[in-house]
Amino acid sequence: MELWFSEHQTPDLSLGLRLRRTLHREHTRFQELLVVDSEAFGRVLCLDGTIQVTERDEFFYHEMLVHLPLMAHPDPRRVLVIGGGDGGSLREICRHEVVEAAVQVEIDPAVMAASRAYLPTLAVGFDDPRVDVRVADGIAFVREHREAFDVIICDSTDPVGPAQGLFEADFYRSCRTALRPGGILAVQSESPLVNADVVRRVALGMNAAFGQSHLALGPMPTYPSGLWSYTLATAAGDPRRPLPSRPLPERLRYYTRDIHAASFLLPPFVEEILAPATEP
Ligand code: SAM
């Protein structure tokens, strides 16, 4: 008998993966956690029925979310990750030698435990001596900090449940206060094809907090529509170009300096989504 996992991405769209087996299932305090082994994408971590990472395609997402801000900042010594419980963002951050401290604030310790148990290629991020993991709500954590980080990365679930506040202007204002001068905020901002409302809301919120924001696009095969967005904002400078002075980490599989610059070139249908967010 064949075993399949289906993510109902919208009421009219599902992604199906043929499974080898189910590895782990758990009701955590915050969400329904599932780890499965799939034929096409390797091991997959799901929360509340939504794919968070797969072993085969996570590099697209983590390389873009992390290297866009870290290659655009002249001296990213202190980096904060909100969410990111699988460890993939930490792994990419720690490829940068200049980083002195990488703090991760994840609300659900069960996600980190599952990643350590089943996703070693991602959980390797937790083992770097520069990493400091806190179990807390990222919204409250950021509110308690002033000029503490050079880069803040929001590697969150979709805007439901505990992650809802991570998509609000108030949270982006707290991030601005928690950033050192010249600091950069980078957030995963969903699919422009399936979640245009979220893409626009993030841009409006980040514009309200920072005066402007910049959207980058990249492929992400197992996320809804396969086309994903990342939004960056800074109170000084322009994150759309990598700095020539910043060394490129070795052995990357998707991110290059040219892809960095190209990812901010937007097709008309995305410009249209953002138009209400950029008009004076
Ligand atoms: N790459 C993924 C995606 O876009 O689907 C996100 C991966 S990561 C597993 C997301 C994490 O954000 C989850 O482990 C979840 O527990 C965490 N999270 C959600 N809301 C949070 C909050 N308010 N503070 C800290 N972590 C939060």
The pLDDT tens digits of the residues spanning 226-271 come to: 999 999 999 999 999 999 999 999 999 999 999 999 999 999 999 9
Residue 165, pLDDT > 60, answer: yes
Residue 211, pLDDT > 90, answer: yes
Q: Which tokens hold the place of 11?
A: 């009421």
Give the number of residues written for the chain: 280
From ligand 1's centre to the CA of 268, what distance in Å? 30
Q: Which atom of ligand 1 is nearest to the CA of 165?
A: 23
Domain ranges of the chain: 3-54, 58-278
Substitution site in 157, 187, 194, 199 for ligand 1 pocket (most atoms within 8 Å of beta carbon)? 157
pLDDT at 38: 98
Substitution site in 32, 103, 106 for ligand 1 pocket (most atoms within 8 Å of beta carbon)? 106
Q: Which atom of ligand 1 is nearest to the CA of 137?
A: 24
Overall average pLDDT of the 61-84 stretch = 98
Q: Which atom of ligand 1 is nearest to the CA of 162?
A: 20
Residue 277, pLDDT > 80, answer: no
From ligand 1's centre to the CA of 157, what distance in Å? 4
Residue 207, pLDDT > 60, answer: yes
Residue 156, pLDDT > 90, answer: yes
Decide which of 179 and 237 is more confident: 179
Distance (Å, rounded) from C-alpha 127 to C-alpha 90? Answer: 9
Substitution site in 9, 56, 107, 194 for ligand 1 pocket (most atoms within 8 Å of beta carbon)? 107
Indicate which residue of 48, 155, 238, 258 is catalytic. Answer: 155
CATH topology of domain 3-54: Spermidine Synthase; Chain: A, domain 2 (2.30.140)
Overall average pLDDT of the 174-199 stretch = 97
Q: Which atom of ligand 1 is nearest to the CA of 51?
A: 5
User: Is residue 239 within 8 Å of 184, Cβ to Cβ?
Assistant: yes
pLDDT at 8: 94
Residue 278, pLDDT > 70, answer: no
Q: What is the 3-state secondary structure (H, E, C) of 237-271?
A: CCCCCCCCCCCCCCCCCCCCHHHHHHHCCCCHHHH
Provide residues with CB under 6 Å of ligand 1: 30, 52-53, 61, 82-86, 105-108, 111, 137-139, 155-157, 162-163, 166, 188
User: Is residue 15 within 8 Å of 9, Cβ to Cβ?
Assistant: yes
User: Is residue 41 within 8 Å of 57, Cβ to Cβ?
Assistant: yes
Q: What is the mean pLDDT of the chain?
A: 96
Overall average pLDDT of the 69-81 stretch = 98
Specify the CATH number for 58-278; select among 3.30.565.10, 3.20.20.450, 3.40.50.300, 3.40.50.150: 3.40.50.150
Q: Which tokens hold the place of 224?
A: 């809804």
Could you report the per-residue pLDDT of 16-32, keeping only the tens digit for each? Answer: 999 999 999 999 999 99
pTM across the whole model: 0.97
pLDDT at 70: 98
User: Is residue 105 within 8 Å of 76, Cβ to Cβ?
Assistant: no
Distance (Å, rounded) from C-alpha 131 to C-alpha 80? Answer: 10
- Identity of the amino acid at 152: I
Q: Which residues contact 32 (CB under 8 A, 6 or more apart)?
A: 25, 26, 47, 48, 49
Overall average pLDDT of the 130-140 stretch = 98
Run of H or E including 210: helix 196-210
Tell me whether residue 155 is one of the annotated catalytic residues. Answer: yes
What is the share, in percent, of the chain residues with pLDDT greater than 70? 98
Overall average pLDDT of the 79-106 stretch = 98
Q: How confident is the model at residue 280 (pLDDT cuts 50, 70, 90)?
A: low
Overall average pLDDT of the 190-200 stretch = 97
Overall average pLDDT of the 135-141 stretch = 98
Residue among 26, 3, 69 at smallest CA distance from 233: 69
pLDDT at 1: 82
Strand partners, 230: 188, 216
Q: Which tokens hold the place of 280?
A: 């004076």
